[in-house]
Amino acid sequence: MVIISACFLGDNCKYDGGNNYTEWIADFTKTHSCFPVCPEMAGGLSAPRPPAEIIDGRAVNRDGIDVTEAFEQGAALVWEAARKKASELGEEIEGAILKAKSPSCGSKVIYDGTFSHKTVQGDGIFVQLLKKNGINVISENDHKEDLL
């Protein structure tokens, strides 16, 4: 089973209330067992919501409000839900395809905390949890062959 950012499949869970529909990922779900998630929504945040970025290891929104707890709760909830679903299906979690640059789902590169669209090396809060558990994470900009 592969964990997928729900916004790639058309779920309007982005901070601005929109989505990041990505055709190759939608096609991928037709041939692979997938589990769509949005850790931020699972953590109780709404869509739309103020954008957040990682600042000194904390998720802080544009209004200066620390939303780390919601990000961490959401990450833990969707990780446990994904593990449960994989177990029910008798499958392993093979990896994850998650939204680039996101403070939750970004892998290798995230926004730098200045809300200026600049990036730095780093992982989002959900990606940190997945990597701690040995899960390979790629973004929509990577090749699916890098995952499996």
Summarised one tens digit per residue, pLDDT across range 4-23 is: 999 999 999 999 999 999 99
- How would you class 64 by CB atoms within 10 Å of its CB: exposed for 0-12, middle for 13-18, buried for 19 or more? exposed
Predicted confidence at residue 67, as pLDDT, reads 99
The beta-strand segments (E) located in the chain are: 2-5, 34-37, 52-55, 58-61, 95-97, 109-111, 119-121, 137-138
Domain count, the chain: 1
What sign for the dihedral angle of Cα 91, 97, 101, 102? negative
Predicted confidence at residue 144, as pLDDT, reads 76
Look at residue 21 and give its three-state secondary structure.
coil
Predicted confidence at residue 37, as pLDDT, reads 99
| Structure token digits, residue 70 | 């919601």
Predicted confidence at residue 148, as pLDDT, reads 66
Give CA–CA dist 126/74, Å, rounded. Answer: 8
Do residues 125 and 137 make contact, with C-beta atoms less than 8 angstroms apart? Answer: no
**Domain carrying residue 70:** 2-146
| Residues of the chain where predicted confidence (pLDDT) is lower than 70 | 148
